């Protein structure tokens, strides 16, 4: 082998080593954040590191986790859904609206059987997801604008149904899944884990999941490969709405009531879970595993700050700083991935 050939081989090996190192750094950052928070709060508060508190954390992030699954599909396609919290709220209000309420609840609702109330509520969230899909894929409205409008529409639907009142009763199945336990484990945790597993399986082991990554990674290449890009984007918008609707129904049972603006904080929480976990806002990189890490980061952060009794207003600031750091890491990771491309290495 000549000296020039040896130099070329060495240069290629060096590029591969640097590429691998960059990729590992980008993927390890969210896990390192999680590990740091765990160690810090375990040392700062003896009551933090307990089995009961772990159950509390899992319960607290369950509703967010269900919403975040659908949002992961959307963000992997390089789109965004700002309507998830409003769709959750509208669906939760709908399932209560179609359930018989106590006479003290001053709402002119339409009582249906438990199963039928759930079906109607699911139809509400599916319809909102289909409307998002049509607006984005067939009309051509950017997802940011379309879902921003849907945020207002879904909020309006919820307000129209509940009319400033508070409803408490939900179908027995929703009440069980949202507020009761199977042994020491709350049912809402079991449902959230099931939805996360189904999301992971779909993304990693099905053709549709591969299409989601292809559309998010390179939309033009996906089209040239024969992928129906519009159908994939439409599908993820409906999936996001269904996940939000399910979370909304369980959330109403978990909170014990259905009312306006009940899920407002869940928009930021669900986006944060996806982004903090390392799923790229630019699409094509990440997945449910990243979302799980993001959920634990947020859950441990919120729970841990309560255990160390930090100022509630400072807690909001810290969460904002964590999200900003995650966004910076996300953008930096995207640059690292871009530098690993064949063009960059040429």
pLDDT digits (tens, 9 = 90+) for 210-226: 999 999 999 999 999 99
Q: Per-residue pLDDT tens for 222-270?
A: 999 999 999 999 999 999 999 999 999 999 999 999 999 899 999 999 9
Least confident of 25-29, 202-206, 267-271, 312-316: 25-29
How does residue 338 score in pLDDT terms, banded at 50, 70 and 90? Answer: low
Q: State the DSSP code for 45.
A: -
Contact 304, 44 (CB under 8 A): yes
- Count CA atoms closer than 13 A to 7's CA, side-chain side: 3
Residue 179 located in a structural domain: yes
Q: Quick one: average pLDDT of 68-72? A: 97
Q: Quick one: average pLDDT of 154-168? A: 93
Residue 283 DSSP SS3: coil
Looking at residue 116, its pLDDT comes to 97
Residue 85 located in a structural domain: yes
Query: Is the per-residue pLDDT at 89 higher than 50?
Result: yes
Distance CA 61, CA 338 (A): 33
Helix (H) or strand (E) holding 140: none
Q: How many CB atoms lie within 10 A of CB 290?
A: 23
Domain of residue 168: give its range.
66-285
Chain-centroid distance, C-alpha 216 = 16
Contact 26, 333 (CB under 8 A): yes
User: Dihedral sign, CA of 330, 336, 338, 341?
Assistant: negative
Looking at residue 36, its pLDDT comes to 86
Looking at residue 345, its pLDDT comes to 42
Residue 176 located in a structural domain: yes
Residue 175 located in a structural domain: yes
Residue 336 located in a structural domain: no
Residue 5 located in a structural domain: no
Q: Quick one: average pLDDT of 304-329? A: 80
Distance CA 285, CA 291 (A): 12
Distance CA 5, CA 312 (A): 63
Rg (CA), the chain: 22
45-52, long-range: CB within 8 Å, 24+ apart, which pairs?
A: 45/304, 45/307, 45/308, 47/307, 48/303, 48/304, 48/307
Give the whole-number percent of the chain exceeding pLDDT 70: 88
**Strand (E) positions, the chain?**
181-182, 185-186
Looking at residue 70, its pLDDT comes to 97
- Count of structural domains within the chain: 1
Q: State the DSSP code for 38.
A: H
275's CB contacts (< 8 A; 6+ apart) are 75, 281, 294, 323, 326, 327, 330
Distance CA 286, CA 206 (A): 16
Residue 291 located in a structural domain: no
Q: Per-residue pLDDT tens for 13-29?
A: 455 445 444 555 556 77
Contact 254, 188 (CB under 8 A): yes
Residue 192 located in a structural domain: yes
Query: Is the per-residue pLDDT at 9 higher than 50?
Result: no
Q: Quick one: average pLDDT of 310-318? A: 80
> Mean pLDDT over all residues of the chain?
87
How does residue 1 score in pLDDT terms, banded at 50, 70 and 90? Answer: low
Q: State the DSSP code for 181.
A: E
Show the tokens assigned to 245: 């609707």
């Amino acid at each position: 082998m000549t000296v020039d050939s040896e130099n070329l081989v060495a240069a290629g090996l060096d590029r591969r080593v640097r590429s691998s190192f960059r990729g590992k750094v980008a993927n390890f950052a969210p896990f390192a954040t999680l590990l740091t928070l765990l160690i810090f709060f375990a040392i700062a508060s003896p009551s933090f590191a307990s089995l009961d508190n772990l159950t509390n954390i899992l319960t607290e992030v369950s509703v967010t986790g269900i919403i975040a699954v659908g949002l992961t599909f959307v963000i992997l396609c390089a789109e965004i859904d700002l309507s998830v919290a409003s769709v959750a709220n509208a669906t939760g209000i709908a399932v209560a609206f179609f359930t018989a309420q106590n006479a003290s609840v001053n709402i002119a609702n339409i009582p249906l059987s438990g199963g039928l109330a759930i079906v109607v509520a699911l139809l509400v969230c599916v319809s909102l997801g289909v409307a998002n899909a049509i607006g984005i894929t067939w009309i051509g409205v950017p997802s940011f604008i379309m879902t921003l409008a849907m945020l207002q529409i879904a909020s309006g639907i919820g307000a129209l149904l509940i009319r400033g009142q508070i409803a408490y009763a939900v179908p027995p199945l929703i009440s069980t899944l949202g507020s009761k336990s199977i042994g020491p484990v709350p049912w809402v945790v079991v449902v959230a884990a099931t939805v996360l597993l189904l999301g992971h399986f779909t993304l990693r082991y099905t053709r549709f999941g591969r299409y989601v990554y292809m559309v998010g990674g390179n939309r033009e290449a996906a089209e040239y490969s024969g992928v129906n890009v519009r159908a994939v984007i439409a599908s993820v918008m409906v999936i996001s709405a269904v996940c939000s609707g399910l979370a909304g129904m369980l959330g109403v049972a978990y909170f014990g009531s259905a009312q306006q603006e009940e899920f407002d904080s869940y928009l930021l929480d669900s986006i944060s879970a996806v982004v903090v976990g390392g799923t790229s806002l630019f699409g094509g990189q990440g997945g449910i595993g990243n979302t799980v890490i993001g959920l634990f980061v947020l859950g441990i952060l919120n729970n841990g700050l309560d255990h160390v009794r930090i100022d509630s207003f400072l807690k909001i600031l810290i969460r904002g700083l964590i999200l900003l750091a995650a966004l910076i890491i996300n953008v930096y990771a995207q640059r690292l991935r871009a530098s690993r491309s064949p063009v960059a290495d040429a």
